[in-house]
Chain A
Amino acid sequence: MKPELKRRLKSKEAVLFLIFVVIFVFMSILSPTRFLSLYNLQSMAYQLPEFGILALSMMIVIITGGINLSVTYTATLAMIIGGFAMSHMFAGGSSAGLSVLVGIILMLAGSLACGAFNGYVIAYIGVTPMLATLGAMTFFEGISLQVTRGGAISGFPIEFIKIGNTAVLGIPVPMIIFLFVLATVYLFLERSRMGATLYMIGSNPKVTRYSGINVRKNLFITYLIASLLAGIAGILMASRYNSAKESYGSSYLLQAVSAAVLGGTSIAGGEGKVIGTVIAVLIIQVISSGLNIIGLNRYLTNVVMGLILIVVLTINFLTREKQFRNN
């Protein structure tokens, strides 16, 4: 038991958590009354879920050795499809409850359709994920533009807006949804049969196929699930932003990749822990909010983020080296 505990304390995730604590304390000292205020903590809890869910979605795909550049446009296409129906139904006199229900169902269905598209092209046709999702990103954006003509879809019932903007017992609803998603993704990836398969596919698809596993089906489902998560993030965004538009969250794309790798997911596939990604998301959120409150130039915030990425990975490298030498 003891060596197990020791190993855990030395793990990448532990180091990352330590870094998170340091940054959090640092921000708190810099701005005790504001950063550490209840209001700010709550506000961060509102902001984090949509990004966190996108990062988890990205992580699942990266574990299979892929990448999903269309993740944010999946979220927005889904919200546009559902939002379009929802606002039209609502304007047409349907009850708020029904419109919201139909809207949400369509948003999830829309994201699944995007996932099926990517999944088919990648798993069954065999196109490199990077290129397939790059094409899909353009394609989804195109459809969104075609539907919205560049504008935003709004006029949602207030019941829908509430999803992203209310708190239960002080805990924002998006945060509750995030925790639920997080637990599910954890069970799926790290405890379930299919999760185990995905890690093996990410490490070596050929051997996995030779082992009698239906690699194509698993990959296909992976993209479905990842896109469904993007759809959930889309619902949160549409609700928080009270509208649906093709460009929402486009800055999350590279951030989601960064969060996954910062959290220890191997970009080559086959490796990565949910908890790592979550800590990375927390780090990014705290830096972003903290520096914003302190009033640092937005570009310097990017510089800090980049440096942290490099520094954390360097630390990982150095600890690995040290362990290697000590043994």
Chain B
Amino acid sequence: MKTKLLKIKELPIILILIVISIIISVANPAFMTLENFLDILKSNLVLAIMSMGMLMVMLTGGIDVSVSSVITAVAVITGYSLMHWSSNLLFTILVAVLSGTVMGLFNGLLIAKLKIPPIVATLGTMSVILGLVLYITNGTWMTGIPEKFIDFGRKKLITFPTGDGKALGIPIQFLFLLVAVLATWFILRKTVIGRGIYAIGGNRDSAERMGFKPDRIIIFVYAFEGFLIGLAAVAHTSIMRQVDPNAFLGFEMQVIAAVVLGGASVLGGYGSILGTLIGVSLFCVINNGLILMHIPTFWQKIVVGLIIIGSISIDMTQKKRTERNKTRVDVE
């Protein structure tokens, strides 16, 4: 058991997360409170959901920089649907995941069928989708989301009473994250396609020789990512209660950074759900800690940059050391 624990690939990054958490909570005990964790959870749900999709994409050796534009487009469509079609929750979710899936499918087709490198294909779709959305909406906020939907967004799953009479609760949107994580886990771990995703990332030619259909798998992955983005858009809209077409500018970098921080390889084949969730957590905790630790505004970016580089450097050095000291021969 002990050795198994030590063998976990994610160990260094887990340790970094723990160390940083300890430092923050020493500086400010308010960090280690249920309330703070719930706040972190709620404000980073969307990032976490999207990181699941990005993980899958990166496992195939791809990358998707269009996620921010896709979620913007889906949020706008969802908002429109809520205000003009129906405020029914299931219907809303359906609209969102459908439109997300369609956009993901489009990316997948460009990448699988036209063999356009993922970063380029998604750069292209990013310009096109975001350009169209902003042209159509002109960046105007969509306010006036139906109360029914907003009320749904305020619901709590489980509530914990606190001493001062207030009640804390797990936000209802946590369900979306749960669905995303479980679905991703199920696909990656339990389905043949899921193993195919790893196989393509490891050695595409061999995967093809083995009978996998890489094109189909890639299309599936991007479509599924779109599906998750649909969920993320609903969660986001229910939290923010309006749709701002500019809300996600530059968000793709955060998603990618969190996934890579969590140990996924940009070359494909390597990466895990646990690692990704830890990468996301590290990201959130750092951001959360900045204000809690009273770090002055003008130092914050310097600190964040150094922490990102520092933690990944520690991780890297660690890996190199294990690699160098690996036993290759049973010496007499």
Are these two chains actual partners, yes or no? Answer: yes
A interface vs B, CB < 8 Å?
Answer: 69, 121, 125-128, 130-132, 134-143, 145-146, 149, 254, 257-258, 261-262, 266-268, 297, 299-303, 305-307, 309-310, 313-314, 317
A309-B127 in contact (CB<8A): yes
Residue in B127, B308, B313 with the greatest tally of chain A CB atoms within 10 Å: B127
Q: Which residues of B have CB within 8 Å of A314?
A: 114, 116
**Pick the contact of A139 from B115, B130, B301, B320 — CB < 8 Å?**
B301
Given known contacts A310-B110, A313-B120, is B302 in contact with A146 (CB within 8 Å)? Answer: yes
B301-A138 in contact (CB<8A): yes
A38 to B312 alpha-carbon distance, docked (Å): 52
Ordered by A's residue number, 29 sampled pairs between the chains whose C-beta atoms are within 8 Å are: A125-B317, A126-B316, A126-B320, A127-B309, A127-B312, A128-B265, A128-B312, A131-B312, A134-B257, A136-B305, A138-B304, A138-B305, A139-B301, A139-B302, A142-B298, A142-B304, A146-B299, A261-B117, A267-B119, A299-B135, A306-B124, A306-B127, A307-B128, A309-B124, A310-B110, A310-B116, A310-B124, A310-B125, A313-B114
Contact code string B261-275 (vs A, CB < 8 Å = 1, else 0): 100011000000000
B180 at the interface (CB under 8 A from A): no
Q: Which residues of B have CB within 8 Å of A131?
A: 257, 260-261, 308-309, 312
A113 to B312 alpha-carbon distance, docked (Å): 21
B135 nearest CB across to chain A (Å): 4
A142 to B305 alpha-carbon distance, docked (Å): 8
B253 at the interface (CB under 8 A from A): yes
Given known contacts A127-B313, A130-B266, is B303 in contact with A142 (CB within 8 Å)? Answer: yes
Q: Which residues of B have CB within 8 Å of A261?
A: 117, 119-120, 123
A266 to B127 alpha-carbon distance, docked (Å): 20
A145-B298 in contact (CB<8A): yes
Q: Which residues of B have CB within 8 Å of A301?
A: 131
B interface vs A, CB < 8 Å?
Answer: 65, 110, 114-117, 119-121, 123-128, 130-132, 134-135, 253, 256-257, 260-261, 265-266, 298-306, 308-309, 312-313, 316-317, 320
What residue in chain A is nearest B311 (Cβ atoms)? A135
A139-B299 in contact (CB<8A): no
B114-A299 in contact (CB<8A): no
B106 nearest CB across to chain A (Å): 10
A69-B253 in contact (CB<8A): yes
Known: A125-B313, A301-B131, A306-B124. 12 other contacts (CB 8 A): A125-B316, A127-B316, A131-B260, A131-B261, A131-B308, A138-B304, A139-B304, A254-B65, A254-B123, A310-B124, A313-B117, A317-B115
A309-B304 in contact (CB<8A): no
Q: Which residues of A have CB within 8 Å of B121?
A: 310, 313
What is the predominant secondary structure among interface residues of chain B facing chain A? Answer: helix
B140 nearest CB across to chain A (Å): 13
A245 nearest CB across to chain B (Å): 15
What residue in chain A is nearest B123 (Cβ atoms)? A258
A131 to B127 alpha-carbon distance, docked (Å): 23
B118 nearest CB across to chain A (Å): 8
A299-B128 in contact (CB<8A): no
Q: Which residues of A have CB within 8 Å of B253?
A: 69, 134
B320-A137 in contact (CB<8A): no
A258 to B117 alpha-carbon distance, docked (Å): 12
Q: Which residues of A have CB within 8 Å of B124?
A: 306-307, 309-310, 313
Given known contacts A136-B309, A306-B131, A309-B123, is B257 in contact with A141 (CB within 8 Å)? Answer: no
Q: Which residues of B have CB within 8 Å of A309?
A: 120, 123-124, 127
A132 to B309 alpha-carbon distance, docked (Å): 6
Q: Which residues of B have CB within 8 Å of A307?
A: 124, 127-128
A261 to B265 alpha-carbon distance, docked (Å): 21
A63 to B138 alpha-carbon distance, docked (Å): 38
B117-A317 in contact (CB<8A): no
**Pick the contact of B308 from A126, A134, A268, A302 — CB < 8 Å?**
A134
Q: Which residues of A have CB within 8 Å of B305?
A: 135-142
Q: Which residues of B have CB within 8 Å of A257?
A: 119, 123
**Pick the contact of B116 from A69, A254, A313 — CB < 8 Å?**
A313
What residue in chain B is nearest A301 (Cβ atoms)? B131
Q: Which residues of B have CB within 8 Å of A134?
A: 253, 256-257, 308
Residue in A69, A134, A254 with the greatest tally of chain B CB atoms within 10 Å: A134
The 10 A-B pairs of least Cβ separation, nearest first, read A139-B305, A306-B127, A142-B301, A142-B302, A135-B308, A302-B131, A303-B131, A138-B305, A306-B128, A135-B309
Q: Which residues of A have CB within 8 Å of B300?
A: 142
B282 nearest CB across to chain A (Å): 12
A145-B306 in contact (CB<8A): no
What residue in chain B is nearest A62 (Cβ atoms)? B119
A126 to B184 alpha-carbon distance, docked (Å): 29
What residue in chain A is nearest B265 (Cβ atoms)? A128
**Pick the contact of B135 from A126, A130, A142, A297 — CB < 8 Å?**
A297
Residue in A131, A146, A307 with the greatest tally of chain B CB atoms within 10 Å: A131
A268 to B256 alpha-carbon distance, docked (Å): 17
A138 to B257 alpha-carbon distance, docked (Å): 12
B300 nearest CB across to chain A (Å): 7
B301-A145 in contact (CB<8A): yes
Q: Which residues of A have CB within 8 Å of B313?
A: 121, 125, 127
